[in-house]
Amino acid sequence: MFLTTAVGMMAWSSVFPLLGLLVRDLGISRAQGGILSGLFYIPGVFVSLPGSWMFNRLPFRRGFFITWSFIVLGTLIMAISPGFFVLCLGRLFFSIGMNIHLIGALKTLAAWFEGHKRLGLVMAIYSSAISVGVFLGMNVGGRLGNDLGWRSPFYLLTVLTIGGWIGLRAVRQPSSAAVTEGSSQGRRFSLRASSIIWLMATAYFFFGTGSDSFLVFTPDFLVRRGLPLARASAIVGGYAFIALLIKLTTSPFIKARNALYFVSAGCVLGILADVLLLQGSISPIFSSIAIGGAFGIAMPAIYSLPAFLVSGDEVGLAYGLYQLLASLGIAAQWLFGHTIDASGGYVTAYTLMMIFFGAGLVCALAISRLGRGTSVAHP
């Protein structure tokens, strides 16, 4: 799951460093480049719930075979595309497959490690694949594109995705006989369970959108404060090292009984990151450390929550809703950008980000209250 997700995120991010080459060679505008990039989010609105249904009904091996057929086809079309519209078609096929893969990967890990005492560590390692894939996509894609042209990264990615397509044939269904901590025996789908699933997905949406928007807009904010772009990007990008360190050191302690505390702490750190950034007298390095801490503490716990709180088909539904609401984050990021353009400053945008983190905190508290005293919440 780590390797295939890293390959997928490498394909997702390779478009970004190639934008200048696509403008030059295909004659597209930067606005069209933005459309090409943003196409990833659109299929998630339509395929997330069908994707969760598919991984609930089909064996994992067959589900990934279908999913990665879209991914391989998409990267191949992008590699051989003669122009912008075919390039978009390839991006669309890839995006359909990758949105469903992100659901299937989490569903697979949740099924294999349900009740395991190291589920938090498993989710921390898995979530690190996203950062690794983006790092490789930005660096390898940019270097190959610069030396060999914009098609070369997509040819490489076609080979890598074919490897992932074949490799995922080794995925097996977990044994259903084991009953461990987090077991779902005696649980049944109810209005309360449904409410918890929606609250988990909403918490994921608010935390993910708030934290991603911090990464999107902060480099420009620091440049406006007088920092060189390279230094501003390095300061913000440094969050990844903090996040990775914290994930690997704290995630082994994530259990069903305390996962919501990790999510809540991550939301608080997200608010702190925004507050520190708006204080002109404090180095932005501390804000980057805070957002790295937010990612490192909250994301493994958020990914673990469905395996802790619900079971069976409900787990797949929860991850499907995760991806569905994450796809709507593109509208929220437009809102943040619009407030910056309209106000000519960043105070309103960062205040909105704090509100998003606060809403994620409220969702975590609501889940804790709903789960108290029921079989949904495990000790």
Q: What is the per-residue pLDDT across 280-336, written as a single tens digit (0 to 9) for each?
A: 788 999 999 999 999 999 999 999 999 888 876 788 888 889 988 988 877 787 788
- Report, as an integer, the average pLDDT of 251-267: 92
Q: In the prediction, which pLDDT does 185 show? A: 42
Q: In the prediction, which pLDDT does 377 show? A: 40
Query: What fold characterizes domain 191-371?
Result: Growth Hormone; Chain: A; (1.20.1250)
Domain 2-170 has CATH 1.20.1250.20: yes
Tell me if 2-170 shares its fold with 191-371.
Answer: yes
The answer on pLDDT for 276 being more than 90 is yes
Mutual angle of helices 119-148 and 284-309, in 10-degree steps: 120
- Reading the block at residue 185, the tokens are 């025996």
Mutual angle of helices 84-112 and 30-38, in 10-degree steps: 30
Alpha carbon 183 to its chain's center? 26
Q: Where are the domains of the chain?
A: 2-170, 191-371
Query: How long, in residues, is the chain?
Result: 379
Nearest to 205 by CA among 120, 284, 61, 321: 321
The answer on pLDDT for 102 being more than 90 is yes
Neighbours of 274 (CB within 10 A): 25
Q: Tokens 């702490």 map to which residue?
A: 265
Q: What is the per-residue pLDDT across 172-211, written as a single tens digit (0 to 9) for each?
A: 888 653 434 444 444 445 677 788 999 999 999 999 889 8
156 pLDDT band, cuts 50/70/90, is very high
Q: Which amino acid is at 83?
A: G
Distance of alpha carbon 20 from alpha carbon 31, whole angstroms: 12
147 pLDDT band, cuts 50/70/90, is confident
Do residues 298 and 267 touch, judged by C-beta distance below 8 A? Answer: yes
Nearest to 326 by CA among 62, 29, 76, 95: 95
